[in-house]
Amino acid sequence: MMKGWFVITCRQAHALLSRRADGALPLMDRLRLRLHLTVCDWCTRVSRQFQFISDAVRRLGR
Amino acid sequence: MNTADTLRQTVGELQPTLLRIARLQLRNDAWAEDAVSETLISALEGVDRFEGQSQLKTWVVGILKHKIIDQFRRSGREVSIEAQAEAAEAETFDEIFTQDGHRQHEPLDWGDPESTLSRTQFLEILQICVDELPATLGRVFMMREWLELETAQICKELKITSTNCFVMLHRARLRLRECLELRWFAGKKMA
């Protein structure tokens, strides 16, 4: 693994997860995030939770 | 009471919810009341076309979304100042991450959260969590996730940079996640 190039922290991964929900990620960020998610259960969990929050918010008011 | 009367009553009952949503988005009571009045008038005119209440609500909320977006267009610069001020504020997320970027605590496993979506009580908690977001953060987040505007459109309406916009949306998601975990999922002991 090319450290420092592909490896990101959970903090950075969280930011990319959110960014991904608001528009397409650049290729490198997509790769970094995908790699991080394959090794990080916590961020994978948060990824699903962000998606869930988005689905849930759309139900408010109806 | 026939079906149309029932539906008219449903429209009337939606008013407080619509008004709260419009106020959050527009930050101006007069504009919010105008948007809601126009929405209710359109809704009452079209009520005969609907058979069910849930379909009607979705439709009414859809009308309100358009009225709010129209008002953004008309009010232009007036709505933007507060957003710029809040976007400039630094955010460290110290309570969530350590200095080297790890999470302080394990995020709880929420189990199968989709099953909670139909529960009124859960949606009430979610609404409380949204209401507790700092005002501008809540507004930007709801523009994105509830009005379903594109990020570029939000930046344009509020005259903020896309970077600020992404940061605010991220901040809102993290806060909402923490709030839901604390107020709902932590108490559910989900496996």
Q: pLDDT by residue (tens digit) across B135-185?
A: 888 989 999 999 889 999 888 888 888 888 999 999 999 999 999 999 999
For residue B190, what pLDDT is reported?
A: 47
Chains A & B: contacts with CB separation below 8 Å: 94
What percent of chain A stands above pLDDT 70?
A: 92
* Nearest CB to B102 within list A10, A18, A19: A10
The Cα–Cα gap between B12 and A6 comes to 55
Measured in degrees and rounded to the nearest 5, phi and psi for residue B103 equal -75, 140
pLDDT of B60 > 80? The answer is yes
β-strand partners of B97: B103
Complex ipTM: 0.92
Helix (H) or strand (E) holding B140: helix B135-145
For residue B80, what pLDDT is reported?
A: 56
Q: Select the residue from A7, A14, A37 to test the B interface by mutation, using most B Cβ atoms within 10 A.
A: A14
Most confident of A14-18, B41-45, B149-153, B165-169: A14-18
User: Å from A3 to nearest chain B CA?
Assistant: 15
Which residues in A lie closer than 8 A to residue B152 (C-beta atoms)? Answer: 23
The Cα–Cα gap between A17 and A25 comes to 9
* Nearest CB to A19 within list B96, B123, B166: B166
- Helix (H, G, I), strand (E, B), or coil: what is residue B60? helix
Q: Which of A9-18, B70-79, B132-141 bottoms out in mean pLDDT, i.e. has the lowest?
A: B70-79
Which residues in A lie closer than 8 A to residue B97 (C-beta atoms)? Answer: 9-11, 14
User: Å from B156 to nearest chain A CA?
Assistant: 15
For residue B86, what pLDDT is reported?
A: 60
Which domains occur in chain B, in start order? 3-76 (1.10.1740.10), 80-188 (1.10.10.10)
The answer to whether the beta carbons of residues A53 and A24 sit under 8 Å apart is: no
Helix (H) or strand (E) holding B175: helix B162-180
The amino acid sitting at A30 is: R
User: Å from A61 to nearest chain B CA?
Assistant: 6
